[in-house]
Structure 1
Amino acid sequence: MKDNNYYGTFIEVAEDCPVAAAEIPASKGESKTVPLMQYEMIANHPYRYTQEDVLFEVFADRSEIPEDQRQAAREKFFSKGQPCLRASSLGKRYGWGIHHDAEGKMALYAVESADYQAFLADDAIKKVKAMRSKRV
C-alpha cells in the first residue's frame, strides 16, 4: 500500500487564504465539520497523528464505522486515491500551517505565529503550499 504521509514537510497556508490570523473552524449546528474534526485531532494531540491517521479517522467517525471494522475499512479507504491535507480548509480558509516531522506526525501552527515564520525560514524543511481555493 502506498504511503500517503508527508515527512519533514511544512504545508503553508494557501496564497488566497482569506485570514491574516488563524481561526478555529466552526461546527454547523449539532454536527462537527470536517475541518473542525481535523483541527481538534491535530491541535489536541500535536505530533501524535500522521496525515493518513487524521484523514481516515475523520472519515470513519463521520461514517460511524465500528472500531472492530476500522482496520479493513482503512485498507479499503486508502486503496483509492485520497486528497491530502493540502486540500484541507485548515490551510485554505482558516490560516493553519501544518508541520510534518521526520516520522510524519503533525502539528498546527497559526499563520501569524513566530513558529510559523521559523518554519518558512528553515531551509532544512521542505515547504509546500495548501491548494488555492480559486483558480487563477
Structure 2
Amino acid sequence: MRIDHNHYNMFVEVAEDCPATSAQIPKAKAGAKTVPLMQYEMLAGHPYSYTQEDVLFEVYATRNSIPDELRAEERERFFSKGQPCLRTSSLCKRYGWGIHHNAEGKIALYAIDSTEYQTLKNDSSLKHVRAMRSSRA
C-alpha cells in the first residue's frame, strides 16, 4: 500500500527567510525551464486542478522524458521512496508564493502580497506550516 503524499486543509506560508516581499514568476535558466518555473506554470493557470503528488511527479516525468505509456508504472516507483513535499519548493522559499491545499488535496498558489494570501494565513480552520528555510539560522 502506497503512502499518500498529499496534504489536506493546509496552507504553506512562505519561508521565514524568503527574500521576496511580492510574488515573482520564476525564470528559465540557459533557455531551459527550471523546476520552480515548471511548478509555477502547472499551478498558476490551473488552481485546484492538481494535487501535490501530481505536481511533483509531472515535473519529474517531464524533466526525465518519461513517455506517457510508462507514467503510471513510473509514478508508483517514484512515490515508493520518500519525496520532498512542496514546502521545499523555491516557489515558497524564494519567489513569494504560498500554497493552499484544499479538503480534496488539490492545490493553488497565492502571492504573498495578495489579500487572498492574508485571508488564508489568518484562517484558523487550516493547518499552517512554513516553507523550509533556505539557510540555517
TM-score between both structures, scaled by the size of structure 2: 0.98
SS at match of 1:131: coil
3-state SS of 1:60 partner? helix
- Runs of 4+ in structure 1 deviating by more than 2 angstroms, as ranges, are none
In the alignment, the residues of structure 2 paired with residue 44 and residue 114 of structure 1 have an alpha-carbon distance, to the nearest angstrom, of: 19
Q: Where in structure 2 are there 5+ consecutive unaligned residues?
A: none
Query: Could you say which residue in structure 2 is the equivalent of 1:78?
Result: 79
- Map 1:1-136 onto structure 2 (within 5 A): 1-136=2-137
The alignment's C-alpha RMSD in Å is: 0.5
CA deviations 1:84-105 (Å, max 9, x no partner) are 0000000000000000000000
User: For 2:13 and 2:32, how far apart are their aligned partners in 1?
Assistant: 28
**Structure 1 gap ranges (5+):** none
- How many residues were matched structurally? 136
Identical aligned residues as a percent: 64
**Deviates further, 24-33 or 55-64:** 24-33
Give the TM-score normalised by the residue count of structure 1: 0.99
Cα shift at 1:119: 0.6
